[in-house]
Amino acid sequence: MSAAKKTIPKEYEGFLPMSRAEMDARGWDELDVLIITGDAYVDHPSFGAAMIGRVLEADGLRVGIVAQPDWKTIESIQVMGTPKLFVGVTAGNLDSMLSNYTAARHKRKEDVYSEGGIPGKRPNHAGVVYSQMARRAFPGVPVVLGGMEASMRRVAHYDYWEDKLKPSIMADAKADVLVYGMGERAVREITRRLREGNRDFREIPGTTLFLGSKATAAMDFSDCIILPSWEELQADKTHLMRLTKVVEAQQTPYCGKRLVQMHGNRAVYMEPPAMPVDGPELDALYEYPFMRLAHPIYKLPVPGFATIKDSIIVSRGCAGGCTFCGLGFHQGKFLSSRSVDSVLKEVRRLANSPNFRGTISDLGGPTANLYAAQNGHAEACKKCHRPSCLWPSICPHFGINEQPGLDILRGARAQPGVKHVFVQSGIRMDVALRTPEYMKELVQNHVSGHMKVAPEHMHPEVLRRMRKPAGDFPAFMDKFFELSEAAGKEQYLVPYFISSFPGCTEKEMGAVEEFLKKEKWNLQQVQDFIPLPMTGSAAMYVTGLDINSEQPIPIVRNAGDRERQKRMLRPNLNPKPIPGGRDREDNLDRVD
């Protein structure tokens, strides 16, 4: 029986409900699904909780959101009652430890995914805390854990901020199932089963289970790869290198094996990744009725939303496989792109919105100029376990097609009401040098005056450990300035460099310092290395081994040595940062 409809402020209409009053206004007496998130609720496709909520809404479910609840009070997640099907939990768009702490392990002064940028609104290890809260608040209701934090901590891993190895997040969270990756396919299958009264979550691609001791003893693991156990890792941390390389190699929906990691007499049981959403199905996700606004309950802006509110996502996945990056473990290395028509349709919707001021801040994704590129389409791709399609060189099966990228840039620029279209997402310089028309279009028409690029380093051995190509940056730089001059524009590059990366001593850092002095370059932003959970760089940091040769390499661990590497770049730091730029040590360190 539905509740009687009540009125709510008009500006609340269209958002997924966050309160009982909003439920009542819809005539709902209960939710089917409750989503708990560590971010403020912003109804935009860049926010995972909003996307999953809209996916479930499109399937006819009643979905509510509790954003940044008070984790000290169980009642804070009970405001809309007990959901009928399950509770979904995410720490937010970033790992909560990365949101809360800097590379120097200091508490951040700003949380860009909170109202007003106010820090302290999410707990450390938010996925664990929220899952345990949901267990206590809603006994018997399945808890589904997802998001970036869950993806990157699904097996035993290293936590930089606590400086120790930790077991799978499932061992602490007590969730029924973990969804890793983008999640739409897996969450729909979980929902389908629950609607049918089936609580068996096995054999769902893109999920991880923590089996009980009896279920573990009864399982046949003969078709699985057995990872180093939690106990083996504790006894010998060098096992983390093999663990990381095996998980990375099996990160393919085409030929990936099931993975098993023992924690005592219980097994973490991980299915291969879900197939990437592509084609009309991908287009449909971005045509859901997102409000493209923060929920009106907030009186102060959400800084992270301000930077992307006029942006449009055109693709997913990253084929780069950089060892410092979590995208390959979360979005996956196989690319999917929206159709040109779908992108331009969203451009028109954005241009017609009352708050639009004529500038699209970004047409991009994880890597903007990989739009419409293809991998996974050839038979060789479906048998491949390489972590990167672009390193040490671009794979001959990797399909590069610059025309669709040209079509969306030119098409977006031509839409009524659109004055400027910029590309702020990262680009692959090696691919850009192979697509001269796209690069010309990009540089001459779609740069806001400053273009961010990520050479990351200048020493070939450090770049090899990053899986980044050496030698492309100077060639890209020359072409950028040549094209800018031809267009009669004074434009600048904003390069990112990483200090204290595994294998980088002051000697290797000297290659960056020498380059900057030679070019008389004043840096805008510097990143002090953070070993993110489950990445190759974290494995190198912990084990002291090169990821390629597995031979010993020097590791910079203490604050004094790290500071000396940063000081090598500080004479080149511009004291007047570019408007909109960020000091990545003091604010939000880059994840990609």
Find out whether 543 and 512 touch, Cβ atoms under 8 Å. Answer: no
Is the pLDDT at 295 greater than 90, yes or no? yes
Q: Which of the pair, 218 or 4, is modelled with greater confidence?
A: 218
**Helix (H) or strand (E) run with residue 76 in it:** none
Is the pLDDT at 328 greater than 60, yes or no? yes
Query: In this predicted structure, what is the pLDDT of residue 522?
Result: 73
Is the pLDDT at 533 greater than 70, yes or no? yes
pLDDT tens-digit readout, 251-269: 999 999 999 999 999 999 9
Query: In this predicted structure, what is the pLDDT of residue 577?
Result: 32
Query: In this predicted structure, what is the pLDDT of residue 520?
Result: 82
Query: In this predicted structure, what is the pLDDT of residue 534?
Result: 96
Is the pLDDT at 51 greater than 60, yes or no? yes
**Residue 517 CA to its chain's centroid (Å):** 34
Query: In this predicted structure, what is the pLDDT of residue 98?
Result: 97
Q: Sorting pLDDT into bands at 50, 70 and 90, what band is 4?
A: low
pLDDT tens-digit readout, 60-119: 999 999 999 999 999 999 999 999 999 999 999 999 999 999 999 999 999 999 999 999
* Alpha-carbon separation of residue 504 from 32, 391, 407, 556, 572 (angstroms): 51, 20, 41, 8, 19
Q: Sorting pLDDT into bands at 50, 70 and 90, what band is 572?
A: low
pLDDT tens-digit readout, 357-404: 999 999 999 999 999 999 999 999 999 999 999 999 999 999 999 999
Query: In this predicted structure, what is the pLDDT of residue 578?
Result: 32
Domains of the chain: 10-205 (3.40.50.2300), 310-427 (3.30.750.210), 449-592 (3.30.750.200)
Q: Sorting pLDDT into bands at 50, 70 and 90, what band is 301?
A: very high
d(CA 445, CA 451): 12
Find out whether 166 and 153 touch, Cβ atoms under 8 Å. Answer: yes
Question: pTM of the predicted model, to two decimals?
Answer: 0.94
pLDDT tens-digit readout, 466-521: 999 998 999 999 999 999 999 999 999 988 899 999 999 999 999 999 999 888 88
Amino acid symbol at 513:
E
Q: What mean pLDDT comes out for the span 336-354?
A: 96
Is the pLDDT at 345 greater than 80, yes or no? yes
pLDDT tens-digit readout, 412-444: 999 999 999 999 998 999 999 999 999 999 999
Residues 6+ apart with CB under 8 A from 66: 18, 34, 35, 36, 37, 76, 77, 79, 80
Q: What mean pLDDT comes out for the span 320-341?
A: 94
Q: What mean pLDDT comes out for the span 332-338?
A: 96
d(CA 174, CA 139): 12
Q: 238 burial class (0-12, 13-18, 19+ CB within 10 angstroms)?
A: middle
Q: What mean pLDDT comes out for the span 532-553?
A: 98
Mean pLDDT of the chain: 93
pLDDT tens-digit readout, 195-206: 999 999 999 999
